[in-house]
Structure 1
Amino acid sequence: MFNHLLTGDKFQAQTLMASIIPIPKPDTDLTECKNYRPISILNLDVKILAKVLANRLSVILPSLIQRDQVGFVRGRPATDAIRRLILLTAWANKTKTPSLLLKLDVKKAFDSLAWPYLKYTLQKWGVGANFMRWIQTLYDDPTAKIHIGSYTSPPFTIKRGTRQGCPLSPLLFDLALEPLAIAIRNNQDICGCNQDDQHHKLNMFADDITLFITRPLLSLPNLYLILQNFGVISGLTINHTKTEALSINLPHELTKLLSLNFEFQWNKNHITVLGIQLTKSFEQLYQANYPKVYSKISKLLEDWGKYHISWIGRITAIKMVLLPKLLYLFRVLPIPLKRIDLKKLEANLSAFIWAKKKPRIRVNILQRSKRDGGLGLPNLWKYYIAAQLTHIPFLHINNTSPLWVYLENSMAAPYTAESLLWTQMKHRPIINSPTLRHTLAIWDTYAALYNLQSPHTPVLPIFKHPQFIPGQQIRAFQWWRDQNLGRVGNLLTVRGPFTIDYLKENYKLPNSEYFRASQILHFVSQCWKQNTTRSTKQTYFEKWCVDGIPPLKAITIIYQYINSPKDILNLQYIKSWSKELNKTLGESDWKKIWDNTRNSSNNTILLEAGYKVLFRWYLTPKKLAHIYPNTNENCFRGCSIPGTMGHIWWTCPKAIRYWIRVYNMIFAVLNVNLQKNPYEALLGAPVQGVTRTQQKLINQIFLAARQVLARSWKSPAINYNLLKPKIDWIFVNEKLTSIALDKYPLFLKIWQPWIDYRFGGLLSTSILST
Structure 2
Amino acid sequence: MIVLPQLLFLFQSLPVEVPIKQFNEWNRTISRFIWQNKKPRIRYKTLCLPRDKGGMSLPCLENYYKAAQLQYVVYWCKEDYDAKWKELELNQLDIPLQPLLGDKTLKTIYSSKLSDLTKIPLNIWFKEICNSNLERKARLLRWVEHDRDFRPAQLDMRFKELTRKGITSYCLISSDTGLDSFQQLQENHDLDKKDFYRYLQLRHHFDRNIRILKEGDLDLIDILIDAYKGKIQRKVVSRLYLCLQLYKKLSTSYVKCNWEREANIILTEDDWLNICEINASTTSSGQWREFAWKNIIRFFITPRRKYLQSGRTESGHCWRQCNNVMAGHCH
Q: Within 1, Cα distance between the matches of 2:154 and 2:325?
A: 78
What is the identity, as a one-letter code, of the residue corresponding to 2:58? L
What residue in structure 2 maps to residue 210 of structure 1? none
What residue in structure 1 maps to residue 94 of structure 2? 414
Give the secondary-structure state (helix, strand or coil) at the position aligned to 2:168. Answer: coil
What residue in structure 2 maps to residue 355 of structure 1? 36
What residue in structure 2 maps to residue 656 of structure 1? none
What residue in structure 1 maps to residue 329 of structure 2? 645
Q: Does 1:444 align with 2:123?
A: no
What residue in structure 2 maps to residue 373 of structure 1? 54
Is 1:417–1:436's contact at 8 Å kept on the other side of the alignment?
no
What is the identity, as a one-letter code, of the residue corresponding to 1:374? G
Match of 1:551 among 228, 233, 236: 233
Q: 1:371 to 1:535 in 2, by over 3 A?
A: closer
Give the secondary-structure state (helix, strand or coil) at the position aligned to 2:91. Answer: helix
Q: Structure 1 residue 536: deviation in Å?
A: 12
Write out per-residue CA displacement over residues 309-348 of structure 1, whole angstroms, 9 at most, x where no aligned residue: xxxxxxxxxxx21111111112223321121112111111
Match of 1:424 among 104, 125, 148: 104
Write out per-residue CA displacement over residues 456-490 of structure 1, whole angstroms, 9 at most, x where no aligned residue: 63232123455557758998446524654322235
- Which runs of structure 2 are paired with 1:463-612 in the superposition (5 Å)? 463-465=145-147, 476-477=158-159, 480-481=162-163, 484-492=166-174, 503=182, 507=186, 510=192, 512-513=194-195, 517=199, 520-521=202-203, 524=206, 527-528=209-210, 531=211, 533=213, 539-547=221-229, 550-564=232-246, 570-612=252-294
Q: Which of the two has greater strand per residue?
A: 1
Q: Structure 1 residue 623: deviation in Å?
A: 1.8
Report 1 or 2 for greater relative contact order, CA contacts < 8 Å, sequence distance ≥ 6.
2
Q: Structure 1 residue 367: deviation in Å?
A: 0.9
Q: Within 2, Cα distance between the matches of 1:534 and 1:612?
A: 39
Q: Within 1, Cα distance between the matches of 2:80 and 2:49?
A: 39
Write out per-residue CA displacement over residues 522-570 of structure 1, whole angstroms, 9 at most, x where no aligned residue: 6545633xx4626699953132331368431122222223324887864
Q: Structure 1 residue 613: deviation in Å?
A: 1.9
- Which runs of structure 2 are paired with 1:122-521 in the superposition (5 Å)? 320-396=1-77, 398-411=79-92, 413-425=93-105, 428-431=108-111, 432=113, 433-450=115-132, 455=137, 457-465=139-147, 476-477=158-159, 480-481=162-163, 484-492=166-174, 503=182, 507=186, 510=192, 512-513=194-195, 517=199, 520-521=202-203
Write out per-residue CA displacement over residues 651-670 of structure 1, whole angstroms, 9 at most, x where no aligned residue: xxxxxxxxxxxxxxxxxxxx
Q: Within 1, Cα distance between the matches of 2:308 and 2:287?
A: 29
- TM-score, with normalisation over the residues of structure 2? 0.78
Match of 2:306 among 605, 610, 624: 624
Give the secondary-structure state (helix, strand or coil) at the position aligned to 1:447. Answer: helix
Q: 1:506 to 1:604 in 2, by over 3 A?
A: closer
Give the total of aligned pairs.
321
**Larger radius of gyration between Structure 1 and Structure 2:** 1
Q: Within 2, Cα distance between the matches of 1:598 and 1:449?
A: 30
What is the identity, as a one-letter code, of the residue corresponding to 1:439? P
Q: 1:506 to 1:475 in 2, by over 3 A?
A: closer
Is 1:453–1:542's contact at 8 Å kept on the other side of the alignment?
no
Is 1:419–1:464's contact at 8 Å kept on the other side of the alignment?
yes
Q: Which of the two has greater helix per residue?
A: 2
Q: Within 1, Cα distance between the matches of 2:42 and 2:294?
A: 9
Q: Structure 1 residue 446: deviation in Å?
A: 0.9
Q: Within 1, Cα distance between the matches of 2:72 and 2:99?
A: 15
Give the secondary-structure state (helix, strand or coil) at the position aligned to 1:428. Answer: helix
Q: Structure 1 residue 366: deviation in Å?
A: 1.0
Q: Within 2, Cα distance between the matches of 1:385 and 1:439?
A: 8
Q: Structure 1 residue 445: deviation in Å?
A: 1.0
Q: 1:537 to 1:341 in 2, by over 3 A?
A: closer
Q: Within 1, Cα distance between the matches of 2:246 and 2:175?
A: 31
Q: Within 1, Cα distance between the matches of 2:84 and 2:230?
A: 13
The percentage of aligned residue pairs carrying the same residue is 21
- TM-score, with normalisation over the residues of structure 1? 0.37
For the aligned residue pairs, the C-alpha RMSD in angstroms reads 3.8
Is 1:427–1:467's contact at 8 Å kept on the other side of the alignment?
no
Q: Structure 1 residue 443: deviation in Å?
A: 0.8
Give the secondary-structure state (helix, strand or coil) at the position aligned to 1:435. Answer: helix
Q: 1:401 to 1:454 in 2, by over 3 A?
A: farther
Match of 2:296 among 591, 614, 618: 614
Q: Structure 1 residue 617: deviation in Å?
A: 1.9
Q: Structure 1 residue 409: deviation in Å?
A: 2.6
Q: Structure 1 residue 512: deviation in Å?
A: 4.8
Q: Within 1, Cα distance between the matches of 2:205 and 2:164?
A: 19
Give the secondary-structure state (helix, strand or coil) at the position aligned to 2:103. Answer: coil
Give the secondary-structure state (helix, strand or coil) at the position aligned to 2:109. Answer: coil
Is 1:601–1:607's contact at 8 Å kept on the other side of the alignment?
yes
Q: 1:520 to 1:404 in 2, by over 3 A?
A: farther
Give the secondary-structure state (helix, strand or coil) at the position aligned to 2:223. Answer: helix
What is the identity, as a one-letter code, of the residue corresponding to 1:355? Q
What is the identity, as a one-letter code, of the residue corresponding to 1:420? L
Q: Within 1, Cα distance between the matches of 2:195 and 2:66?
A: 43
What is the identity, as a one-letter code, of the residue corresponding to 1:541? I
Is 2:172–2:228's contact at 8 Å kept on the other side of the alignment?
no
Is 2:303–2:328's contact at 8 Å kept on the other side of the alignment?
yes
Q: Structure 1 residue 635: deviation in Å?
A: 2.7
User: Unaligned 5+ residue runs, structure 2?
Assistant: none
Is 1:459–1:488's contact at 8 Å kept on the other side of the alignment?
yes
Q: 1:454 to 1:639 in 2, by over 3 A?
A: same
